[in-house]
Structure 1
Amino acid sequence: MEDFTFKHLEPGEGIPYDLLLLADETTAAIDKYIFNCDIYLLIDDKQNIAVMALHKNNNTELEIKNIAVIDAYRSKGIGSILINKAKEIAQTHRYKKLTVGTSDTGFQQIRFYEKNGFLITGLKKNFFIENYPEPIYENGLQMRDMVLLTHHFSE
């Protein structure tokens, strides 16, 4: 495996919309959360290859708001590297749980999170209908509900 560098973006460094848009539909949707997130880039020797945006929901819960990997690096374990980094950050700051939401039509994403230790813990009904101006389709199905997944840390 190649050597990768994690970089925590400082305020004013510029938001990597090109990467964030791989996981979210519009810059308007991203702008609803990104200014309250810590943004991390995963960089190889040549380029930014992945992004992760983490949001402190409260003193016990850290949420992954966006996680994306460029096409050339997909299916190479990069997503799991990001998840492990998110878990490390959460544990360092003594969060009790790490949460993430994804579409009910994102079967591959749901399996990915479950493989990385997350359990389905809830559903936000009609999230994608109410929060996006146009219908969004994935796997030939209209995205409607957000599936919530949680990884709990043991004491």
Structure 2
Amino acid sequence: MENFTFNLHSPGLPIPYELLLLADETTEAIDGYIFNSDIYLLRDGVQDIAVMALYKNSDTELEIKNIAVIESYRSKGIGSILINKAKEIARENHYKTLTVGTSDTGFQQIRFYEKNSFIRKGIRKNFFIENYPDPIYENGLQMRDMVLLAHNLTE
């Protein structure tokens, strides 16, 4: 593959909202977690092509709050590279579980996480109705519930 570099985003630099907004609908929603998250960027040598925000839920659980890849790099394995980096970071920091949440209408995202060894572990009912001011639609359906998925790092 190409010359990719993967780096922790420096706190003094501007937050890469343009990338983060590829996976989350509003800057207000992003602001709800981003200041307590570690942000990682994947570059192809010229530009940032992907972002991932990791949030410590507890001493044993790390959550992927945001993961996004620019359009021109999608369907090329970049998302799986990020997932593997998240697993590596979580293991190095002694977390037992890596979790992620996505919309119940995000069929492609759910398949992606399951393909990357995540299993469904729960539902946050009405998450997208209660946490976003306007209805959000995906695949022609209104987003309502968040599907929670987890990867056990101790196996």
**TM class by shorter-chain length?**
over 0.9
Distance of 1:132 and 1:126 partners within structure 2 = 10
Please say which of residues 8-17 and 93-102 is displaced more in the overlay: 8-17
Q: Deviations over 1:92-117 (max 9, x none)?
A: 00100000000000000000000000
Mapping of residues 114-153 of structure 1, within 5 Å: 114-153=114-153
Mapping of residues 103-118 of structure 1, within 5 Å: 103-118=103-118
> Which stretches of structure 1, 4 residues or longer, exceed 3 Å deviation after superposition?
none
Query: 1:50 aligned to 2:77?
Result: no
Point out where structure 2 has 5 or more consecutive residues left out of the alignment.
none
Distance of 1:129 and 1:16 partners within structure 2 = 26
- Aligned residues between the structures: 155
Structure 1 counterpart SS, 2:54: strand
Letter in 2 for 1:82: L
Mapping of residues 3-152 of structure 1, within 5 Å: 3-152=3-152
Q: Deviations over 1:42-91 (max 9, x none)?
A: 00111000000000101000000000000000000000000000000000
Distance of 1:46 and 1:153 partners within structure 2 = 33
Measured after TM superposition, the shift of residue 13 of structure 1 is 1.2
Letter in 2 for 1:37: S
Structure 1 counterpart SS, 2:149: strand
Distance of 1:150 and 1:12 partners within structure 2 = 31
Structure 2 counterpart SS, 1:76: coil
The two structures, once aligned, show a CA RMSD in angstroms of 0.7
Point out where structure 1 has 5 or more consecutive residues left out of the alignment.
none
Letter in 2 for 1:72: S
Measured after TM superposition, the shift of residue 20 of structure 1 is 0.1
